[in-house]
Amino acid sequence: MKEKLSKLSIYSIILFFAFFSIFLLFIKLGERGGQTFFSNLKLTIPFLLAAASGIFSFFTGIISILKNKERSILVFISTGIGAFILFWVSAEILFPH
């Protein structure tokens, strides 16, 4: 795991978990959403940052695996988690409930 993109993929998935933890902490402290997604910015901002860092982790991991032939298990794990996040966010956008 010597490549810069590999490390960036792992760091960004760590950031995903940090931002998602902040989001869950705000919910635990009693914050609730409103009528729209942007009604409560205390919940919106950490959630958007978490989603963006997860998706970024996926793309940097894929580039690192394909271009630089990275074979570190941590890069594969962060790319897999990032793929799940990308799928989940895409499904929420395409099929809102």
Instruction: List, as one string, the DSSP characters of the chain.
Output: --SHHHHHHHHHHHHHHHHHHHHHHHHHTT----SSTTS-HHHHHHHHHHHHHHHHHHHHHHHHHHHS----HHHHHHHHHHHHHHHHHHHHHHS--
Q: Are 9 and 82 in contact (CB under 8 A)?
A: yes
pLDDT at 1: 64
Give pTM, 2 decimals.
Answer: 0.89
Q: How confident is the model at residue 94 (pLDDT cuts 50, 70, 90)?
A: very high
Q: What is the share, in percent, of the chain residues with pLDDT greater than 90? A: 79
Q: How confident is the model at residue 49 (pLDDT cuts 50, 70, 90)?
A: very high
HSE value, Cβ hemisphere, 13 Å, CA-based, for 6: 15
pLDDT at 61: 96
Please state, rounded to an integer, the average pLDDT across all residues of the chain. Answer: 93
